[in-house]
């Protein structure tokens, strides 16, 4: 074989490998692949990792994160971002607890306490989401600033409302929603299923993607951009409230600092799944995969008895790689260098 | 690319294939051999918790046991997940520093259901039917004694003092005990000390600093400060320096300063004459008692629900005598 043809063969081989990697990187379910590979690779090394008990533990802790990430997915699809979700979790937690707590709750002892509290939490989530949406659309403020200041305001409100105290004595009918894995799984599955149908089969879903791709073009095409954007933030608020129901039920306590630390996990998991930070792209299943992968990493690193500092660094690194991959995928998908 | 259903199936199979018996603690039994103890801390953000974590680790390793560790980074739901993880791994006992008195109840119930002894280190749980042992300092008594010493010093100056207290997160029962101890020591001594500022810190250095600066602006004549934890001392020092009031004891304009915990900063400030007194928690006593409680519970011995660390007050007059027992002095000597 002459020298030029050897070079050509090497180039072809490199091209094949490169295109294989590119195909993998561009795959919709890259993170699911990574989850499977990660789980199989880690199983022999992380004690107790591959056990039914641990799987149940991962599932229980995954559900509320999935719910709040679902709402984030909807907002990201429109090209926005919702940083206020953690404060919605905290605020709805203390308001709901204050409605139903046996220790001085507004409806203490009433059989209606738990259902009214759930409705109040969902309504409050929707109201806060709506306020975010109105500020982003009507006041034309950047989503980042609106939801960041919203996070500060509503977190402060939750702490002021409770004077930094937790609220215990929640009725069993409520606690079971988060504490019972089957009930929590049913809530998450129903919400996920609804969101999937909404995004893939409804006109509203198509509008969300249209707004995320190009809001001006969507507006010209007759899409009610403002209404769709506000609705996206309402969905995010309601999803955060649903997550709050699960978190509060698991902790059996209404807490003004509930969920304070999950923001990075929420955005990280959503981006990891493949939802784009730049809008116009996202799926419920992707988000589920992102949440699953992040929880697998978290859980396995704990089982490996690594310190919190190492776990935080590794998780930060994983999310950074996912964000970089998002940029690279856009470039590859667009045929750029 | 394969369908997501195939991948999910493969994932499920990988878990099922891997399903064997959960990890059993290596050779753990009740005959004094190697136990595995899961230690779950809420945070390692202050010197006290770092010292407590190290003391428990040393106590466990000195006994030839094995320690599994988890830190929840201030997230109660994450801590519940970590405790469940310990249970899945069938540890022989769990030592828990919960975020607060309420959110730990599901963790205690989960450990109870699995028959695993659980000991709360330094923070007790609310009253409930969940069974646990708590090893805690007597926050109320120790704070009362510390503040009483400060009041004595104030009385000796012959003039009335204006006081500020930095209050911790009131979801933490220790913070409540310290606040109440402070109030109890002041009650009856209002002729010497008048409380003019109560700064809620939620155990946050930033909130403490902002609160102290604001309080000093509103009441520039504050000359008596008690902090519910020594880890907030740097915030107080910074605020006092900014208004030119960071003076040693005996110097004109000295602000009477007291704290709780006994950390390395407190030790160095005591030595240098800036701090007047602090209530010291005996972290080594608490660590030893926590591990011993697990061992005793495993063999069915009676263990009281509350093991109290009496602690002690350290001040300039007994510094030389008490420093060897002060964990902050030990840590700063390393």
CA–CA separation, B88 vs B105, rounded Å? 18
Residue B15's pLDDT is what?
A: 47
The DSSP secondary-structure symbol of B275 reads -
Q: Are B11 and A37 in contact (CB under 8 A)?
A: no
The DSSP secondary-structure symbol of A55 reads H
Q: How far is CA A159 from CA A91, A95, B10, B212, in A?
A: 8, 11, 45, 19
User: What is the residue-averaged pLDDT of chain A?
Assistant: 89
Residue A311's pLDDT is what?
A: 84
User: Hey, is the C-beta of A253 within 8 angstroms of any chain B C-beta?
Assistant: yes
Mean pLDDT value of segment A283-305: 90
Element (H, E) at B127: none
User: Hey, is the C-beta of B15 within 8 angstroms of any chain A C-beta?
Assistant: yes
Residue B253 DSSP SS3: coil
User: What is the residue-averaged pLDDT of chain B?
Assistant: 89
Q: Looking at chain B from residue 28 to 67, which residues have their Cβ under 8 Å from any Cβ of chain A?
A: 44
Judge if ipTM > 0.90.
no
Residue A318's pLDDT is what?
A: 82
User: Hey, is the C-beta of A255 within 8 angstroms of any chain B C-beta?
Assistant: yes
Residue B21's pLDDT is what?
A: 40
Residue B9's pLDDT is what?
A: 53
Would you place residue B27 in the very low, low, confident or very high pLDDT band (cuts 50, 70, 90)?
very low
Mean pLDDT value of segment B288-316: 95
pLDDT over threshold 80, residue A6: no
> B53 or A160: which carries more pLDDT confidence?
B53
Residue B28's pLDDT is what?
A: 42
- Residue A293 CA from chain centroid, whole number: 12
Residue B307's pLDDT is what?
A: 96
User: Hey, is the C-beta of A55 within 8 angstroms of any chain B C-beta?
Assistant: yes
Q: What is the pTM of this model?
A: 0.80
Mean pLDDT value of segment B300-323: 93
Residue A188's pLDDT is what?
A: 97
Q: What is the pLDDT of residues A80-137, one digit of tens each?
A: 999 999 999 999 999 999 999 998 899 998 999 999 999 999 999 999 999 999 999 9
CA–CA separation, A197 vs A104, rounded Å? 41
pLDDT over threshold 60, residue B330: yes
Would you place residue A316 in the very low, low, confident or very high pLDDT band (cuts 50, 70, 90)?
confident
Residue A306's pLDDT is what?
A: 83
Q: Select from B18, B84, B100 the Cβ nearest to the Cβ of A166.
A: B100
φ, ψ for residue B44, nearest 5 deg: -125, 30
Q: Which of B57, B91, B103, B111 to mutate to test the interface with A (most CBs of A within 10 A)?
A: B103
Q: Are A174 and A117 in contact (CB under 8 A)?
A: yes
Q: Return the structure tokens found at B118.
A: 């659980």
Low-confidence winner among A151-155, A274-278, B161-165 (lowest mean pLDDT): A274-278
């Amino acid at each position: 074989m002459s020298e030029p043809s050897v070079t050509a063969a090497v180039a072809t081989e490199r091209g094949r490998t490169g295109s294989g990697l590119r195909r993998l990187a561009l795959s919709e379910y890259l993170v699911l692949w990574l989850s499977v590979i990660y789980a199989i690779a880690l199983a022999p090394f992380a004690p107790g990792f591959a056990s039914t008990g641990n799987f149940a533990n991962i599932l229980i802790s995954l559900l509320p994160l999935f719910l709040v990430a679902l709402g984030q997915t909807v907002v990201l699809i429109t090209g926005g971002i919702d940083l206020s979700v953690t404060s919605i979790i905290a605020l709805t937690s203390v308001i709901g607890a204050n409605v139903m707590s046996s220790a001085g709750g507004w409806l203490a002892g009433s059989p209606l306490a738990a259902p009214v509290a759930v409705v109040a939490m969902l309504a409050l989530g929707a109201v806060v989401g709506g306020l975010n949406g109105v500020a982003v659309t009507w006041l034309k403020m950047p989503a980042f600033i609106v939801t960041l200041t919203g996070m500060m305001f509503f977190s402060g409100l939750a702490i002021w409302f409770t004077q930094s105290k937790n609220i215990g004595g929640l009725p069993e009918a409520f606690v079971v929603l988060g504490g019972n894995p089957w009930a929590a799984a049913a809530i998450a599955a129903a919400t996920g299923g609804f969101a999937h149908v909404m995004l893939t089969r409804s006109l509203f879903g198509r509008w969300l993607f249209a707004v995320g791709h190009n809001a001006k073009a969507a507006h010209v095409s007759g899409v009610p951009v403002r209404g769709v954007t506000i609705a996206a933030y309402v969905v995010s608020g309601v999803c955060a409230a649903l997550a709050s129901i699960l978190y509060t039920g698991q902790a059996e306590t209404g807490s003004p600092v509930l969920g304070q630390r999950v923001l990075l996990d929420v955005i990280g998991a959503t981006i990891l799944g493949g939802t784009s930070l730049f809008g116009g792209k996202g799926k419920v299943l992707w988000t589920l995969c992102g949440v699953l992968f992040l929880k697998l990493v978290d859980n396995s690193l704990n089982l490996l008895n690594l310190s919190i500092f190492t776990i935080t660094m590794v998780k930060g690194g994983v999310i950074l790689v996912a964000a970089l991959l998002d940029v690279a995928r856009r470039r590859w998908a667009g045929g750029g260098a | 690319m394969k369908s997501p259903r195939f991948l999910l199936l493969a994932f499920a199979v990988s878990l099922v294939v891997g399903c064997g018996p959960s990890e059993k603690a290596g050779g753990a039994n009740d005959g004094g051999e190697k136990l595995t103890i899961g230690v779950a801390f809420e945070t390692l953000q202050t010197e006290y918790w770092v010292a407590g974590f190290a003391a428990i680790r040393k106590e466990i390793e000195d006994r030839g046991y094995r320690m599994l560790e988890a830190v929840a980074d201030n997230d109660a739901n994450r801590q519940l997940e970590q405790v469940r993880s310990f249970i899945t791994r069938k540890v022989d006992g769990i030592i828990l520093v919960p975020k607060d008195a309420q959110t730990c109840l599901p963790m205690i119930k989960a450990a109870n259901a699995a028959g695993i002894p659980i000991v709360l280190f330094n923070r007790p749980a609310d009253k409930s039917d969940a069974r646990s042992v708590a090893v805690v300092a007597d926050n109320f008594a120790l704070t009362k004694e510390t503040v009483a010493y400060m009041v004595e010093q104030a009385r000796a100056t012959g003039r009335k003092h204006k006081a500020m207290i930095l209050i911790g997160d009131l979801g933490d029962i220790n913070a409540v005990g310290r606040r109440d101890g402070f109030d109890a020591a002041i009650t009856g001594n209002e002729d010497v000390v008048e409380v003019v500022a109560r700064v809620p810190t939620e155990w946050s250095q930033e909130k403490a600093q902002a609160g102290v600066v604001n309080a000093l602006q509103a009441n520039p004549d504050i000359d008596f400060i008690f902090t519910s934890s020594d880890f907030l001392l740097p915030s107080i020092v910074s605020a006092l320096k900014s208004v030119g009031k960071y003076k040693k004891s005996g110097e004109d304009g000295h602000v009477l300063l007291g704290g709780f915990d006994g950390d390395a900063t407190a030790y160095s400030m005591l030595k240098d004459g800036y701090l007047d007194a602090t209530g010291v928690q005996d972290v080594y006593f608490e660590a030893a008692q926590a591990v011993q409680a697990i061992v005793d519970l495993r063999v069915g011995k009676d263990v009281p629900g509350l093991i109290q660390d009496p602690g002690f007050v350290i001040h300039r007059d007994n510094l030389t005598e008490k420093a060897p027992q002060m964990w902050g002095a030990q840590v700063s000597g390393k």
